[in-house]
């Protein structure tokens, strides 16, 4: 009887310890969210869960010599980097995925629209190449445009999110520029409609 009571007490104490650890972890997560968003590598989606992953190319502030005004986006396709100009010789640098061979482009454009959890309708030319694609896909964790999208000029190109962090730093798209969902949410909060975007090959 004494052995049985001791065993029961041990199990109960172990259970309380697990609950305490779980509560502590949840409190830490809540504090992290309140202090500036989801922890890096986990993005809270509209369904209340976390998904995605950290970029293999860390977002960082770098020295950046440029005549562009603060708030300008400069995309260097060859480097596979996006720079958000801060001014005073500095920029915030993000790793990006760029267009495949034959799908790269350059020029100056502007952000004409911003959308959270954008829907995706593949254009006809893409459907001709990939007839297996859906004709329309609502916004959400499985959508290839990710958590945020910024639409560029009158083109079909966008700066958008992705839940495939392993593609960052690669030439994988049909001309759009992708960031991790974590990074695109950060950039989206800085960018305004009308922002100048310079795309370098």
Nearest C-alpha neighbor of 54 from the set 188, 189, 183:
183
Nearest C-alpha neighbor of 162 from the set 176, 146, 177, 186:
146
Q: How far lies 144's CA from each of 61, 70, 161, 167, 173, in Å?
A: 27, 30, 8, 12, 11
Selected catalytic residue, list 59, 81, 93, 160:
160
| HEC-encoded secondary structure of 22-37 | HHHHHHHHHHHHHCCC
Q: For the beta carbon of residue 181, count every other beta carbon within 10 angstroms.
A: 29
Selected catalytic residue, list 176, 179, 184, 191:
176
Is the distance from CB of 96 to CB of 81 less than 8 angstroms? yes
Start-to-end CA distance of the chain, whole Å, equals 78
Residue with tokens 């369904």: 47
176 catalytic? Reply is yes
79 catalytic? Reply is no
| Residues marked as catalytic | 160, 176
């Amino acid at each position: 009887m004494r052995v049985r009571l001791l065993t029961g007490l041990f199990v109960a104490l172990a259970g309380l310890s697990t609950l305490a650890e779980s509560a502590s972890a949840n409190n830490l997560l809540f504090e992290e969210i309140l202090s500036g968003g989801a922890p890096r590598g986990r993005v809270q989606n509209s369904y209340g869960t976390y998904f995605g992953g950290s970029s293999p190319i860390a977002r960082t502030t770098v020295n950046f010599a440029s005549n562009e005004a603060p708030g300008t986006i400069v995309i260097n396709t060859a480097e596979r980097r996006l720079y958000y100009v801060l001014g005073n010789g500095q920029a915030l640098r993000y790793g990006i995925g760029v267009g495949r061979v034959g799908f790269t482009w350059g020029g100056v454009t502007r952000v004409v629209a911003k959308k959270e959890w954008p829907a995706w309708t593949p254009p006809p030319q893409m459907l001709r190449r990939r007839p297996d694609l859906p004709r329309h896909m609502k916004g959400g964790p499985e959508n290839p445009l990710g958590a945020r999208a910024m639409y560029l000029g009158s083109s079909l190109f966008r700066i958008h999110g992705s839940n495939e962090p392993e593609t960052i730093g690669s030439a994988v798209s049909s001309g759009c520029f992708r960031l991790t969902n974590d990074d695109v949410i950060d950039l989206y909060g800085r960018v305004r409609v009308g922002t100048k975007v310079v795309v370098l090959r």
